[in-house]
Amino acid sequence: MTKSGRNLPLSTQGPLECALRGTVLLNHPYFNKGSAFSSEERRDFGLSGLLPPSIQTLEQQVKRAYDQYSSRADDLAKNTFLTSMKEQNEVLYFKLIQDNIQEMFSVVYTPTEGDAIQNYSRLFRRPEGVFLNIHDVDRVRHDLSKWATADDIDYIVVTDGEEILGIGDQGCGGILISIAKLVLTTVCAGIHPNRVLPVILDCGTDNEELLKDPLYLGLREKRVRGEQYDNLVDTFVKSARELFPKAYIHFEDFGLYNARRILDKYRPEIPCFNDDVQGTGCVTLAAIMAALRVSNLALGDLRMVIFGAGTAGVGIADQVRDAISTEGGISKEEAAKQIWLVDKPGILTAEVEHLSGAQKGYAKAEDEWKGKERNLLSVIQEAKPNVLVGTSTVPKAFTEDIVRAMASHVERPIILPLSNPTRLHEAVPADLLAWTNGKALVATGSPFDPVRGPWGADGEQIEISIAECNNSVVFPGIGLGSVLCQAQRVTDKMLVAAVNGVAELGPAIQDKDATAPLLPGVGAVRDVSVRVARKVIQAAVEEGQATEKEIPTDDEELDEWIREQMWDAKYRPLKYVDIEDASPQAKGDMRVVGSLEGKKN
């Protein structure tokens, strides 16, 4: 029961039952409060002599932690510091990030998390998450079952480590992207940090450097593919569904060949989501909708070139195509004519070899391109797009001549270099704005500072803010909505609803100011997640996908219902219980499942 008097499925307030005492309690990151344990808690939980006498507030702890963080020499050292803090005291860790989200977002996520992943086996101190091994398929169910009981897990992020954040195959270091995405679900959307599961499917690696590295911690062999791989994925999905029937499964950073195949296979059956395909598609469509509004154009006017037609590029194409088709009342095939995909061979035409099923829907007739150059510059000159998206991992691919060619055809070129990390961006905002005399509407895959230039009336200096167009704007809210309404599936309509939720909160639209960011920034992220979750839940209810029975219908009440179930970084009083008398929720919190099993396991 909560302050609104409702019975909520998720408890986020009031005392926490705990059967742990002494050093065991101090070493449990979910329950540990360090110097903030009250004198009663010190007495009841056997902590006397284990802590210095002064009792501090969370705010005092945050101040000390911030000073320690700031004294670290570089971003990777800051990332490592935060990882250690997460292992010690989760409330403090999340509070520190929440209070300094603008500053720390890029340290716990892209680009710095990419460096941490590349150095996983060197920085390793202690494991976090579930490591499932392609040669131990028979143990998958058992190994997962050690983590929690049926009601304890809401959200799973799983990767196979093949295509991490634009830095390629990182083998078992990929576990850190599962962990980082889950950190964002908590920071941005209040997903309960003790009810999540990060998973890596270790199938080997094709990264030669890792294979040669004596310190590499993963399976030291080439990636296993084919039937054995599919069997591992299938065993994982089925076991996770059986063991944790409430859990939503988020697929992250699978390779090009597998990402969409896996999504297409499981999407009709379970509540699952691929962030690189769907999350990226949703946030990019939201940025495009905001930019079109600024340019006084409709979706029907859109002409888009996507450079890098892989997982993210085609995911964006699909999301935009479906939106054009719905808004214009035209078929998807017709809508696809407004989108051009360019990849290594240049423009994708029907005669390009080895097109994937998803790419084929956008392939242009070979005749149209006979005798013409097929590179990005020629495609820009031919297609005269108003939107150019980069998901190629090719740094500086959007050259001055390409950008000027685009700007010569349209008033406000919408340019979205999305490849991560920062060094792989297809162009940097300062160049894009300089080459287009401040006309380009820009959003980027990683954060950038605002750009100043003489683009105001009469050449006056103005500052243009750059939105971060990263799936992190949207996936936490989609997950939160799906978890709270206990969605059976994540449907297209739920995703469109999420896009609308983000687009309407973009400062450029809200403030009617073209120099403001196209998308809401990290500072507003929890409000964005509430809005996205509300839209997703309402769409799920309309589609008959929501199984939770107590969902309020009124917008404001629904927002409050969502907020009340969002986990917040604050200490809850601890109440001692004997392990035998602990509630199932408390047992879940203490993760007693695996630790009380017998020796055979």
Ligand X SMILES: NC(=O)C1=CN([C@@H]2O[C@H](COP(=O)(O)OP(=O)(O)OC[C@H]3O[C@@H](n4cnc5c(N)ncnc54)[C@H](O)[C@@H]3O)[C@@H](O)[C@H]2O)C=CC1
Instruction: Report the binding-site residues for a divalent metal cation.
Output: 252-253, 276
Catalytic residue among 69, 109, 155, 216: 109
Burial zone of 87 (CB within 10 Å; 0-12 exposed, 13-18 middle, 19+ buried): middle
SS3 282: helix
Indicate which residue of 181, 364, 535, 587 is catalytic.
181
Peptide bond into 429 cis (omega under 30): no
Q: Which of 207, 419, 482, 491 binds ligand X (CB under 6 A)?
A: 419
User: Of 29, 129, 166, 313, which lies in the binding site for ligand CC(=O)C(=O)O, with binding defined by CB under 6 A?
Assistant: 166
Task: Closer to Mg ion by CB, 412 or 425: give it.
Answer: 425
Half-sphere exposure of residue 203: CA atoms within 13 angstroms, side-chain side: 24
Beta bridge mates, 274: 251
Enter the tokens of residue 399. 């050259």
Task: Tell me the chain's radius of gyration from C-alpha atoms.
Answer: 24
In terms of CB distance, is 98 or 391 closer to ligand X?
A: 391
Q: Site size for ligand X, by CB under 6 A?
A: 27
The yes or no reply on residue 174 touching ligand CC(=O)C(=O)O (CB under 6 A) is no
Q: How many residues make up the chain in this entry?
A: 601
> Binding of Mg ion at residue 41 (CB under 5 A)?
no
**Residues in binding contact with Mg ion, number by CB under 5 A:** 2
* Of positions 169, 276, 318, 426, contacts Mg ion by CB under 5 A: 276
Q: Which of 276, 343, 426, 431 binds ligand CC(=O)C(=O)O (CB under 6 A)?
A: 276
Task: State the nearest-atom distance from the C-beta of 362 to ligand CC(=O)C(=O)O, in Å.
Answer: 21
Which CB, 202 or 253, lies closer to ligand CC(=O)C(=O)O?
A: 253
φ/ψ of 466, rounded to 5, equals: -110, 125
Q: Is 570 a catalytic residue?
A: no
E strands present in 100-179:
130-133, 155-159
Residue nearest to ligand X (CB): 310
Q: How far apart are CA 155 and CA 178, in angstroms?
A: 11
Q: CA 524, CA 503: separation in Å to the nearest integer?
A: 13
Using rule CB under 6 A, residue 392 touches ligand X:
yes
CA 530 to chain centre: 16
Give me the half-sphere count of Cα atoms (radius 13 Å) on the Cβ side of residue 181: 34
Closest alpha carbon to 518 in 327, 315, 294: 294
- Asked if 160 touches ligand CC(=O)C(=O)O (CB under 6 A), the answer is no
Q: In whole angstroms, what is the distance from residue 475 CA to residue 490 CA?
A: 12
Binding of Mg ion at residue 163 (CB under 5 A)? no
SS3 130: strand
Under rule CB under 6 A, residue 118 binds ligand X: no
In sequence order, what DSSP letters do the residues of 408-421 get, joined into one string? TT-SS-EEEE--SS
- Per CB under 6 A, 538 contacts ligand CC(=O)C(=O)O: no
Tokens of 36: 């903030």
CB of 90 or CB of 276, closer to Mg ion: 276
Q: How far is the CB of 114 from ligand CC(=O)C(=O)O (least distance, A)?
A: 8
What minimum distance in Å lies between the beta carbon of 225 and ligand X?
A: 16
Q: Taking CB within 5 to 8 Å according to partner kind, which of ligand CC(=O)C(=O)O, Mg ion, ligand X, none is near residue 256?
A: ligand X
421 preceded by a cis bond (ω within 30 of 0): yes
- Candidate list 420, 491, 500, 529; residue touching ligand CC(=O)C(=O)O; CB under 6 A: 420
* Residue window 324-363: x/- pattern of binding to ligand X, with contact defined by CB under 6 A: -------------------xx-------------------
Among 41, 113, 169, 253, binds ligand CC(=O)C(=O)O (CB under 6 A): 253
Check binding of 182 to ligand X (CB under 6 A). no
Mark whether 229 is an active-site residue: no
> Quick one: 45 or 398, whose CB is closer to ligand CC(=O)C(=O)O?
398
280 touches ligand X (CB under 6 A): yes
Could you tell which of Mg ion, ligand X, ligand CC(=O)C(=O)O, none binds residue 593, using a CB distance below 5 to 8 A set by kind?
none
Does 276 participate in binding ligand X (rule CB under 6 A)? yes
**Annotated binding residues:** 252-253, 276, 420, 470
What token pair was written down for 337? 């004519």
Least spacing, CB of residue 447 vs ligand CC(=O)C(=O)O, in Å: 12
Query: How buried is residue 556: exposed, middle or buried, by Cβ count under 10 Å (0-12/13-18/19+)?
Result: exposed
Q: What residue 287 binds from Mg ion, ligand CC(=O)C(=O)O, ligand X, none (CB within 5 to 8 A, per partner kind)?
A: none
Task: Specify the stretch interacting with ligand X by CB under 6 A; choose among 90-98, 205-213, 241-249, 419-427.
Answer: 419-427
Contact 137, 187 (CB under 8 A): no
Contact 465, 434 (CB under 8 A): no
DSSP secondary structure, 183-247, as one string:
HHHHHHH---TTSEEEEEEE-----HHHHH-TT--S--SPPP-THHHHHHHHHHHHHHHHH-TT-
Residue from the set 202, 275, 431, 589 that interacts with ligand CC(=O)C(=O)O by CB under 6 A: 275
Angstrom distance (rounded) from CA 183 to CA 404: 40
CB 276 → Mg ion: shortest distance, Å? 4
Distance linking the first and last C-alpha atoms of the chain: 38
Q: Give every CB contact of residue 58 below 8 A, 6+ residues apart in sequence.
A: 36, 91, 92, 95, 569, 570, 571
Of 32, 118, 325, 470, which lies in the binding site for ligand X, with binding defined by CB under 6 A? 470
CB of 357 to ligand CC(=O)C(=O)O, least distance (A): 22
Does 491 help bind ligand CC(=O)C(=O)O (rule: CB under 6 A)?
Answer: no
Residues 587-596, buried b or exposed e (16+ Cβ, 10 A)?
bbbbbbeeee
Q: Which does 239 bind (CB under 5 to 8 A by kind): Mg ion, ligand CC(=O)C(=O)O, ligand X, none?
A: none
Q: Please, which residues bridge with residue 387 across strands?
A: 304, 414
* Contact call for residue 166 and ligand X (CB under 6 A): yes
What are the residue numbers of the active site? 109, 181
Residues that bind ligand X (CB under 6 A): 163, 165-166, 256, 276, 280, 307-313, 343-344, 391-394, 418-420, 424, 445, 469-471
